Homo-oligomer: A and B are copies of this chain.
Amino acid sequence: MVPRYARPEMTAIWSAENRFRIWFEIEAHATDALADLGTVPKSAANALWDWWATKPVIDVAAIDAIEAVTKHDVIAFLTWVSENVGEEARFMHQGMTSSDVLDTCLAVQLAQAADLLIADVDALLAAIKRRAFEHKLTPTIGRSHGIHAEPVTFGLKLAQAYAEFDRCKARLIAARAEVATCAISGAVGTFANIDPRVEAHVAAKLGLSIEPVSTQVIPRDRHAMFFATLGVVAGSIERLATEVRHLQRTEVLEAEEYFSPGQKGSSAMPHKRNPILTENLTGLARMVRSAVVPALENVALWHERDISHSSVERFIGPDATITLDFALGRLTGVIDKLLIYPERMQKNLDRMGGLVHSQRVLLALTQAGASREDSYLLVQRNAMRVWESDGQLSLLELLKADADVTARLSAAQLTELFDLGYHMKHVDTIFDRVFGAA
């Protein structure tokens, strides 16, 4: 975790305090269930909750000090709780194994993290939607291969991003369901020393599903799917960030990240306004994605478990979720405050001398009876002259002057073929598909 790429709410999920709070809840709910089953006295469960009701401070340092002696984190925690609760606490953890606590806790943390990420995507979607409607009909050039193709609208670009992050939201919801399971099944998953009803009770209380069959641990294919999904979301962040970076480059300059009046762009070149937020997002996307491979390598634990996954998760659990949360927040800010320059978009649209309308002319010629091959050649020979003039010549004018063309299409027909509105006629349809009918 790099502090400058972290926000407090997500960071708090991974704090020692939050972890110990979740541990306590797991233990206390389990003790409730054990008491209901008659395995331990009801007074034991009550003692735990009574203490909890006093809103005790979690003394992380004290627990760490015990762990330094016992070299076992869960035992250290149980010892500390016992010191606070007293004699009754000895019934805690009956028949459970450390992993029951650790893995169920991780499930809660990942579910909490997923909830934040889903809320982040909601905020991003709202920002994208607002800007998309704002520029629903702002014409801009569509580009394939970085080369001008045909007109689109800036709203359509954002509608694409909206649809993509809407898919990301659905994926995050599915990823949350993957990992939000509770396992309290004992040392090798047989429930030999603990009744399955304890698991069911704790799961219900924590809002988790039961893990149908665990070993000592919850199977790591679930976590692999979770982190793989974060990696896909990161890919989508990189895509939108890359779009902004392209739009901001000097020669294009159709949009810019917001630049506050007092901000310095460079120690050497005071005029520079750099797309540093989106470049940063590109790097952060690489980092979130870098969690995917170790998460995949974590799946094949040996037999009923080995602990190789644990150190990996100590890194990627916090790092991938904190970084993705930060990145989604940063991207939301970028979109929300993005400086958008419609005039420049129009200027760029026009700079190719109308070449962007060539396919439409091609189709019109075909429909007017020319063969596909002839139409192609007719358009190409005029298009090439415009291209070589660097947009100084006008395709429309050249076509009007080409007898082989005017034999098929009148000047009026040609002029009509260069109408931008033609390209916008289905924007409503697409917006309805993406944002829902009004």
Contacts and interface: CB of A to CB of B under 8 A. Distances in A.
Contacts of A186: 150, 268
Interface in A291-328: 291-294, 296-312, 314-316, 319
Given A272-B149, A307-B280, A189 B142 contact: yes
Contacts of A248: 146-147
Within the oligomer, what is the number of copies of this chain? Answer: 4
A229 to B, nearest CB: 7
Closest 7 CB pairs of A and B: A142-B188, A235-B299, A146-B249, A271-B383, A145-B274, A283-B311, A270-B380
Given A187-B149, A221-B235, A251-B348, A72 B267 contact: yes
B283 A308 contact: yes
A57 interface: no
Given A74-B267, A271-B384, A167 B307 contact: no
Given A148-B250, A422-B192, A303 B143 contact: yes
Interface in A140-192: 141-152, 156, 159-160, 163-164, 167-168, 171, 174, 178, 186-192
A103 interface: no
B267 A98 contact: yes
A152 to B, nearest CB: 5
A20 B219 CA distance: 42
A284 interface: yes
Contacts of A97: 266-268
A75 to B, nearest CB: 5
B150 A192 contact: yes
A282 interface: yes
A315 B322 CA distance: 13
16 contacts: A71-B263, A94-B363, A98-B266, A142-B216, A146-B275, A147-B274, A187-B266, A228-B228, A238-B299, A242-B300, A271-B355, A271-B358, A271-B379, A280-B310, A286-B308, A287-B316
A215 interface: yes
A245 interface: yes
Given A143-B250, A144-B187, A196-B426, 15 more contacts: A97-B268, A144-B304, A146-B302, A149-B187, A150-B190, A174-B174, A190-B430, A191-B425, A191-B429, A192-B423, A228-B229, A271-B386, A276-B307, A283-B309, A315-B319
